[in-house]
Amino acid sequence: MIEVENLTKYYGPRKAINNLTFQIAQGEVVGFLGPNGAGKSTTMNILSCILPASSGTARIKGYDTFEHSIELRKIIGYLPETPPLYPDMSVRDYLMFAAQVRGLTSKQTGSAVEAVIEKCSLKNVSHRIIGRLSKGYQQRVGLAQAMVHDPDILILDEPTIGLDPIQIIEIRKLIQQLASSHTIILSSHILPEITQICQRVIIINEGEIAAVDSLEGLTASLRKSERLSLTVRNASDDIEKKLNSINQVLSVLPGEKNQFLIECALNSNLQDEFARLALDNQWGLVEIKPLSMTLEDVFLKLTIEEKDVKA
């Protein structure tokens, strides 16, 4: 559905993105991840037909985003990082305007606005002035304008930025509901959000793609060791020494309240060994838990290691 090939964009002499290549299939929910200034918003702006690329191509349903931008804009809904809201308009008037400029006819506009107000739970505030709404509601209105014309593709640039935890959960739920019927590209700084919503992650760092894969795929490809958490009731003074003495244990780090984080060689399966050791030494085994790699780990590993390599 979306094919990006060697996409490059310069702002003056500065290269914002460099040779990006990736594909997104219909119905997929893809997360864009990267530090500030990595080129996420630039890529989203090109895909939304707002900016032309300096070189390379971005195609949606086979149409070039620059050459067929007017046609493509009809099937794309875009929520920029700062929602494009007119603070002096009421929610309903604003959505009517957004529907009309997105090409809906007068007949379609009324029902489309009602539907999106219902979907985004804006009924209670539909007659209120946007400038007087809370940040959470403003973000909902921003999301509503992006989907008022029922686009096939939703491009959401940091949709939960600046919201409080409850508002974040609400917006996240809304996006999860939309995921069943739309292709969604989402950028976020909140890594658990990407983990919860997205099927695939594109990590961009300094304008280049650092990785494209599912979270499981990324974790597997980057995993060079296994981590376990061991919790006991009565840790002896020599517990670290005894754990380290086991073959294939790479390191032992003491955690909180008799908890130890143990790094072992890949596929070493040492759980039985640890259990036996705990029983023999009467440590009072409470828990042995394998720890999976979080998206934070993957993200930091990719972005920081890449920097180190470049340096």
Contact call for residue 148 and another protein (CB under 8 A): no
Contact call for residue 250 and another protein (CB under 8 A): no
Question: What x/- string results for residues 98 through 137 when contact with another protein is judged by CB under 8 A?
Answer: x-xxxx----------------------------------
**Least distance between another protein and beta carbon 72 (Å):** 8
Q: Which of residues 5-44 bind another protein (CB under 8 A)?
A: 11-12
Contact call for residue 264 and another protein (CB under 8 A): no
Query: Could you tell me which stretch among 68-76, 177-185, 202-210, 289-297 binds another protein (CB under 8 A)?
Result: 68-76
Query: Among 93, 152, 240, 306, which residue sits at the site for another protein (rule: CB under 8 A)?
Result: 93
Query: Among 23, 37, 55, 86, which residue sits at the site for another protein (rule: CB under 8 A)?
Result: 86
CB 208 within 8 Å of CB 216: no
**Least distance between another protein and beta carbon 86 (Å):** 6
Contact call for residue 221 and another protein (CB under 8 A): no
Reported residue count of the chain is 311
Query: Could you tell me which stretch among 81-89, 119-127, 180-188, 209-217 binds another protein (CB under 8 A)?
Result: 81-89
Interacting residues of 276 by C-beta distance below 8 A, sequence separation 6+: none
**Least distance between another protein and beta carbon 122 (Å):** 17
Nearer of residues 37 and 131 to another protein, judged by Cβ: 131
Question: Cα-Cα-Cα-Cα dihedral of 104, 105, 111, 116, to 10°?
Answer: 20
CB 95 within 8 Å of CB 145: yes
**Least distance between another protein and beta carbon 45 (Å):** 8
Contact call for residue 159 and another protein (CB under 8 A): no
Contact call for residue 91 and another protein (CB under 8 A): no
3-state SS of the chain is: CEEEEEEEEEECCEEEEEEEEEEECCCCEEEEECCCCCCHHHHHHHHCCCCCCCEEEEEECCEECCCCHHHHHCCEEEECCCCCCCCCCEHHHHHHHHHHHCCCCHHHHHHHHHHHHHHCCCHHHCCCEHHHCCHHHHHHHHHHHHHCCCCCEEEEECCCCCCCHHHHHHHHHHHHHHHCCCEEEEECCCHHHHHHHCCEEEEEECCEEEEEECHHHHHHHHCCEEEEEEEECCCCCCHHHHHHCCCCEEEEEECCCCEEEEEEECCCCCHHHHHHHHHHCCCCEEEEEEECCCHHHHHHHHHHHHHHHHC
Query: Among 2, 59, 60, 73, which residue sits at the site for another protein (rule: CB under 8 A)?
Result: 73
Query: Among 87, 162, 254, 255, which residue sits at the site for another protein (rule: CB under 8 A)?
Result: 87
Nearer of residues 24 and 153 to another protein, judged by Cβ: 153
Query: Among 7, 29, 51, 163, which residue sits at the site for another protein (rule: CB under 8 A)?
Result: 51
Nearer of residues 98 and 249 to another protein, judged by Cβ: 98
Which residues sit at the interface with another protein, rule CB under 8 A? 11-12, 48-52, 70-71, 73-74, 76, 78, 80, 82, 84-89, 93, 97-98, 100-103, 145
